[in-house]
Amino acid sequence: MAADVLARSDTGAYRHIVTTDVGDRPERGPANRIILPTPRGLSVRRALLNLASMDPGEGLQSHAIPESAVERLRAGDDAGFLRERKKYLVAGEQDFILAQGLVLADTTVGEPEIDTE
């Protein structure tokens, strides 16, 4: 299904979860993007909260959203949601890099560029 959405939509398939400005532009990064088709009139945010309520405690692992981020989303803490999801995505990326036998970048040099629109 995701492949079909990507084929038909290109970058439009990546939808924003948080649609408000939360300061310092974190809403432009990958932590705020998801491939999740919804019916007309249903926001991605509401769809995620609906999915999370169907399986409490599991978060939305299949969408790389940990329970700690779901809790922030439920509380209306958009910046906290993005912060928690970003931490989760970064940790997953670092685990992948290490599993490939590669070395993580030197953190004293600065923060790596983040993908933006």
Half-sphere exposure of 106 (CA within 13 A, CB side): 2
The predicted model scores a pTM of 0.80
User: Which ranges of the chain have pLDDT less than 50?
Assistant: none
pLDDT of residue 2: 60
Q: Sign (positive/negative) of CA torsion 74, 81, 42, 54?
A: negative
